[in-house]
């Protein structure tokens, strides 16, 4: 497998997580591509205009750009999120689509973003693309670990409570606005950081990065992967990114009829679309569900649950 595909898969997994974060608090936001594009522009402008160095680009600068992109996206998310998160469901989704489109048109026309041409020759810290894995893999593990912990602390529980029933959560003293904006910001920060890294990986950045199509692609990653556990978006992002390439590779397998190989090569996105539609129909819960995880890894977890569920019964028996 080539390393570029592997990096793309990891980036897709993180972008899916950036959509999953607001979804943890029940908010369907499609704003990730906007923050992704912004993060990429921040890295592209910083590295081509301000961090001009001779020789290989220092990794430390790259990390600094990722941090700057995350911070900028977090602030923008705060500004956009406070008014926008008053909206619910499909209205929020549409408002975030509008946000992405406004950013896209701006980046097409501003001078600093290079207009329609975009920014070229973003400096490379490594001599080969594969070395980006040394940043991408830890970043993915870090964000997965972060979300794993988040789901188990007070804030994550508050998100879950709002997702289940906002009114009830508010009645319990959980501030819906605070938590919704926080979840939205976390997603935006992650998307911005990924954008900054992605700009270096791709070597060029333009207004085609982060469009409306990508919004829906990320949503497909999350919903087909499974939106009830953070493992779902990771699996979905990786699988759906690899799928078109897999179909292409399949076409090169010998012994296929000529028309079929030709169709696999040029019509692979048709198959991709059909598979997305079928995937939603046949796996409405997504590929990875909490139940599946429990069955695969959760022997310890299940035993703990059994203990927990037997105890109340014992109490009842005593009372009787």
Question: Which residues sit at the interface with other proteins, rule CB under 8 A?
Answer: 28, 83-84, 86-87, 90-91, 93-95, 97-99, 101-102, 105-106, 108-109, 167, 212-213, 216, 219-220, 223-224, 263, 266-267, 269-281, 284
* Residues in CB range of 196: below 8 A, 6 or more apart: 39, 40, 42, 43, 62, 65, 66, 68, 69, 70
Residue 16 or 196 having the CB closest to other proteins: 16
* Residues in CB range of 260: below 8 A, 6 or more apart: none
- Least distance in Å: CB of 127 to other proteins? 36
- Least distance in Å: CB of 305 to other proteins? 26
Residue 68 or 160 having the CB closest to other proteins: 160
DSSP 8-state code for residue 52? -
Closest CA to 193 of 139, 113, 141, 150: 139
- Least distance in Å: CB of 236 to other proteins? 10
Residue 276 or 294 having the CB closest to other proteins: 276
Residue 265 or 302 having the CB closest to other proteins: 265
Residue 15 or 66 having the CB closest to other proteins: 15
* Residues in CB range of 278: below 8 A, 6 or more apart: none
- Least distance in Å: CB of 302 to other proteins? 27
> Cα–Cα distance between 27 and 90 in angstroms, integer?
10
Residue 205: helix, strand or coil by DSSP? strand
Number of residues in the chain: 320
- Least distance in Å: CB of 7 to other proteins? 23
Beta-ladder partners of 119: 205
């Amino acid at each position: 497998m080539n390393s570029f595909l592997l990096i793309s898969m990891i980036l897709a997994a993180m972008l899916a997580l950036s959509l999953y974060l607001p979804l943890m608090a029940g908010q369907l936001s499609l704003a990730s591509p906007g923050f992704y594009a912004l993060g990429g522009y921040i890295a592209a402008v910083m590295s081509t205009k301000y961090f001009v160095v001779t020789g290989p680009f220092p990794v430390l600068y790259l990390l600094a750009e990722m941090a700057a992109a995350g911070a900028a996206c977090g602030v923008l998310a705060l500004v956009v999120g406070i008014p926008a998160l008053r909206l619910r469901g499909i209205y929020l989704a549409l408002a975030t689509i509008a946000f992405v489109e406004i950013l896209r048109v701006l980046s097409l026309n501003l001078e600093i973003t290079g207009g329609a041409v975009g920014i070229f020759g973003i400096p490379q810290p490594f001599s080969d693309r594969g070395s980006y894995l040394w940043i991408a893999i830890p970043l993915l593990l870090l964000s997965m670990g972060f979300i794993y912990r988040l789901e188990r602390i007070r804030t994550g529980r508050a998100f879950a409570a709002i997702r289940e029933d906002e009114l009830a959560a508010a009645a319990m003293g959980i501030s819906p606005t605070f938590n919704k904006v926080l979840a939205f910001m976390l997603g935006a920060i992650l998307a911005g950081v990924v954008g900054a890294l992605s700009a270096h990986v791709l070597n060029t950045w333009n207004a085609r990065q982060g469009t409306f199509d990508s919004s829906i692609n990320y949503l497909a990653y999350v919903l087909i992967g499974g939106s009830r556990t953070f493992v779902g978006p990771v699996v979905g992002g990786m699988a759906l990114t690899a799928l078109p390439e897999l179909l292409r590779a399949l076409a090169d397998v010998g012994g296929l009829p000529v028309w079929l190989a030709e169709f696999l090569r040029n019509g692979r996105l048709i198959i991709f679309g059909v598979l997305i539609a079928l995937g939603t129909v046949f796996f409405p819960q997504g590929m990875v569900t909490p139940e599946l995880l429990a069955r695969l890894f959760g022997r310890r977890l299940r035993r703990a649950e059994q203990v927990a569920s037997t105890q109340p019964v014992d109490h009842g028996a005593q009372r009787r």
